[in-house]
């Protein structure tokens, strides 16, 4: 994925803000909200895509439709602080469909995961059978999501 160029003018910033809320907005409606002609608006969107400021479009699937009613954030500390251990752990996360996000972070642990599964029993199995099978892991701390009053992930 191309790195977006850092400078964005106010009109392009407004386009990005609207598209972040509604990536399926028709170009004519977007143009009207921005105050541009449809052709000028389309050129700007295409340029934002070309520059990498717009990395893609996707459907946001409700967790219930994926049978994922249980969400937890999990911090993971590795036993060894080597590049090989990190890469092995990251490959394991890529292969685990329950891991919806994996972030390498700073602080007392190396990783923060967002895990989505059907229920508490499914999480228990994931915790013991999947995370427990990673030899790179030294510590696991689970934070169960009780509610999400604000969630702007797309």
Average pLDDT of adjacent 10-residue blocks, the chain of 154 residues? 65 94 95 96 96 90 85 96 93 96 96 96 96 93 94 76
Rounded CA separation 41/34 (Å): 8
Q: Where are the domains of the chain?
A: 10-51, 63-144
Rounded CA separation 62/90 (Å): 25
Helix, strand, coil percentages, rounded to 5, for the chain: 40, 20, 40
For residue 20, give Cα distances in angstroms to 13, 16, 71, 86.
11, 6, 23, 32
At residue 139, the pLDDT reads 97
Strand partners, 71: 116
Rounded CA separation 154/152 (Å): 6
Q: What are phi and psi of 43, to 5 degrees?
A: -60, -40
Q: Tell me the fold of 63-144.
A: Alpha-Beta Plaits (3.30.70)
Rounded CA separation 137/77 (Å): 6
Strand duo 70-78 + 137-144: pairing: antiparallel
The CATH code that applies to domain 10-51 is 1.10.10.10
CA 43, 52, 3, 152: dihedral to nearest 10 degrees? 120
């Amino acid at each position: 994925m191309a790195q977006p160029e850092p400078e964005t003018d106010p009109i392009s910033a407004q386009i990005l803000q609207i598209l972040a809320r509604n990536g399926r907005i028709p170009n004519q409606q977007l143009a009207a909200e921005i105050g541009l002609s449809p052709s000028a608006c389309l050129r700007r969107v295409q340029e934002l895509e070309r520059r990498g400021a717009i990395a893609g479009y996707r459907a946001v699937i409700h967790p219930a439709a994926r049978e994922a009613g249980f969400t937890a954030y999990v911090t993971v500390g590795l036993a060894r602080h080597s590049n090989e251990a990190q890469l092995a752990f990251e490959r394991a996360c890529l292969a685990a469909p329950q891991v919806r996000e994996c972030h390498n972070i700073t602080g007392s642990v190396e990783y923060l995961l967002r895990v989505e599964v059907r229920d508490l029993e499914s999480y228990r199995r994931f915790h013991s059978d999947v995370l427990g099978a990673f030899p790179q892991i030294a510590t696991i701390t689970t934070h169960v999501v009780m509610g999400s009053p604000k969630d702007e992930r797309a």
